[in-house]
Amino acid sequence: MTRVLSGTRPTGKLHLGNLLGAIENYKKLQGAESFFMIADLHALTTEYEKQTHIADDVTEVVLDYLASGLDSARCVIFIQSEVPEHAELALLFSMITPIGWLERNPTYKDQLQELKGKDLHTHGFLGYPVLQAADIALYKAEKVPVGEDQLPHLELAREIIRRFKHIYGKDVFPEPEAILTKTPRIPGLDGRKMSKSYDNCIYLSDPHDVVDKKVKSMVTDPARKRREDRGNPDVCPVFYHHRLFNSENSETVARECRQAARGCVDCKAEMAAKMNEFLDPIRRSREAWSKKKTEVRKILDQGREKARQVSRQTLQETMQAMGLKK
């Protein structure tokens, strides 16, 4: 049975980009050996100044996981900080990770640029990929379903694991492989990649009218200024979503757009209706789970115990390999 691990940073509610970019694959890879965590320690690397909100965001992500179709009978759902082995293995990995690898990490450089308002010149933020490598290695995961933006981190995890094997001559961890979905980057309201930091997201928990309003505000083919102008669906983010949520009609939509036989207002209304149809069951399930606090806590408690069983064992093997234990 293939071991699977992935995680999501709890920096707010999950959006369609998270679902279609990664969580869809969590669902497909569910099985006796799959572990899905909420990476609250990773959230702390950038949100350390407002720690009080992280626990609330953890709850939101758990609800989004369950509402999206993760089934605690078929996978292990847990909170990273409740399994101390993550921090312990990260410390052990930090001993063998050259600083140059971390400083060269393209995601690190991008984030320093992008999150200019925050002081990210910390040990924890530089070591973000070391912690992520530990997350994966603790479960000896072979498959890691993630969004495209995580590929550099996965590459670093593989490098750290290879270095471990090279130094200690022990094959404790398999080399993990990233698993991407067919739609690794879906466009947000402004046409850029849907991302919380761009404030252009449709959230899984957005009510009907909010989805309608957001879709109304979406950018379309920028060259189509008037209703009489012919449009180009290939450059239109609304059309991208037609292909996802209204696939049976997408050819008609494209043709009518090209012939100026449909206006953007109607086109958006049709897409919003389809997107709402897609989101309806998720919203309903989320609503139901949000009322079952005790049950949700039980899922997380069981998840923590299962995660600890596996991770304790791996940590022992690692300590032996590194000479801390006989």
Give contact residues for ligand TRP (rule: CB under 6 A).
5-9, 39, 42, 132, 135-136, 144, 146, 150, 153
Residue 270 touching ligand SF4 (CB under 6 A): no
Candidates 78-86, 149-157, 232-240, 318-326; binding stretch for ligand SF4 (CB under 6 A): 232-240
- Shorter beta-carbon distance to ligand TRP: residue 132 or 311: 132
Q: How many CB atoms lie within 10 A of CB 104?
A: 12
Minimum separation from the CB atom of position 206 to ligand SF4 (A): 20
Partner from ligand SF4, ligand TRP, none contacting 224, C-beta within 5 to 8 A by type: ligand SF4
221 makes contact with ligand SF4 (CB under 6 A)? yes
Q: Under a CB-based contact definition with an 8 Å cutoff, are residues 178 and 256 in contact? A: no
Binding-residue pattern over the window 17 to 46 for ligand SF4, x denoting contact by CB under 6 A: ------------------------------
**Interaction partner, residue 150 (ligand SF4, ligand TRP, none; CB < 5-8 Å by kind):** ligand TRP
* Minimum distance, C-beta of residue 267 to ligand SF4, in the bound complex (Å): 3
- Quote the least distance from Cβ 73 to ligand TRP, whole Å: 22
SS (H, E, C) the chain: CCCEEEEECCCCCCEHHHHHHHHHHHHHCCCCCEEEEECHHHHHHHHHHHHHHHHHHHHHHHHHHHHHCCCCCCCEEEEHHHCCHHHHHHHHHHCCCCHHHHHHCHHHHHHHHHCCCCCCCCHHHHCHHHHHHHHHHHCCCCEEECCHHHHHHHHHHHHHHHHHHHHHCCCCCCCCEEECCCCCCCECCCCCECCHHHCCCCECCCCHHHHHHHHHCCCCCCCCCCCCCCCCHHHCHHHHHHHHHCHHHHHHHHHHHHCCCCCHHHHHHHHHHHHHHHHHHHHHHHHHHHCCHHHHHHHHHHHHHHHHHHHHHHHHHHHHHCCCCC
Rounded Cα distance, 288 and 162, in Å: 44
Residue from 181, 220, 246, 311 touching ligand SF4 (CB under 6 A): that is 220
Q: Which is nearer to ligand SF4, 92 or 238 (CB)?
A: 238
Binding partner selected for residue 54 from ligand TRP, ligand SF4, none, CB under the kind-specific 5 to 8 Å limit: none
d(CA 216, CA 204): 17
Task: Identify which range of 101-109, 200-208, 263-271, 305-313 contacts ligand SF4 by CB under 6 A.
Answer: 263-271
Q: Do 318 and 140 meet the contact criterion of CB atoms below 8 Å apart? A: no
Residue 241 or 286: the one with the smaller Cβ distance to ligand SF4 is 241
Part of the chain binding ligand SF4 (CB under 6 A), chosen from 15-23, 137-145, 198-206, 217-225: 217-225
Choice from 224, 241, 274, 286 touching ligand SF4 (CB under 6 A) = 224
Q: Tell me: does residue 264 bind ligand SF4 (CB under 6 A).
A: yes
* Window 155-174: contact mask with ligand SF4 (x via CB under 6 A): --------------------
Sites of contact with ligand SF4 (CB under 6 A) = 220-221, 224, 231, 233, 236, 238-239, 253, 257, 262, 264, 267-268
